[in-house]
Amino acid sequence: QITLRESGPALVKPTETLTLTCTFSGFSLSYSGVAVGWFRQPPGKALEWLALVYWDDDKKYSPSLRTRVSITKGSSNHVVLTMNNMNRVDTGTYYCAYFVPEPVSGYYLGDVWGQGALVTVSS
Amino acid sequence: DIVLTQSPGTLSLSPGQRATLSCRASQTLSSNYLAWYQQKPGQAPRLLIYGASNRATGIPDRFTGRGSGTDFTLTISRLEPEDFAVYYCHQYGGLSPYSFGRGTRLDI
């Protein structure tokens, strides 16, 4: 069974750097074809994709956040997201997800998600 | 970037009724890389449909995805109480970054 869990600070101050960890089980990021990504969701608003890291350490970022976000493979079952220069509009729930190529098109799709971590940006 | 427009914003129905949710893409999704997620309050999104029309593992057959090109629909044939949630369409392919629609809220 694949599970993911996000952890990190619930409160950060404006201009600080956010560091979130995704801890997962049921798969390894060493397995060929696997990826882990991050999304976020401001309160009451839609989902937004942030970043993705593949088993081979290839990475993709949202163009709108590319200068502020970094994704890193940790140990065999951790992925870390950092986002610098946090501000109030970055408040929301941050999710990590297990990605695999879906069988029809082969494009990567978030199949299993963690429960999310609420991050509030406030002084 | 591909923009997804969902309609209606809110749909009010009763258990047993049929729900039809729409999603229009600003560009053609040539390989139908369109998915639907269900999200209940306080929960993570759950994958329902991928490739426009394929049900994910464990999804009941009352959920049906259709469409191609730029116009897609999600139909729930007979609403169950647990189906009342927010539904997002999501494109995940090509050269564009991943994107989501703003969601359709399905209310009792």
Cβ(B32)–Cβ(A105) below 8 Å: yes
Tell me: the pLDDT tens digits for A70-116?
999 987 799 999 999 999 999 999 999 999 998 888 899 999 999 99
Inter-chain residue contact A49 with B44, CB threshold 8 Å: no
Cβ(B10)–Cβ(B104) below 8 Å: yes
User: What is the pLDDT at residue A21?
Assistant: 97
Q: For the residues A54-74, what does the mean pLDDT come to? A: 94
Instruction: Name the nearest CA neighbour of B38 among B92, B104, B99.
Output: B104
Phi, psi of A86, deg, nearest 5: -65, 145
Distance CA A80, CA A64 (A): 19
The nearest alpha carbon in chain A to B32 belongs to A105
Tell me: the pLDDT tens digits for B62-97?
999 999 999 999 999 999 999 999 999 999 987 778
B-chain CB neighbours of A45 within 8 Å are: 102
Inter-chain residue contact B97 with A62, CB threshold 8 Å: yes
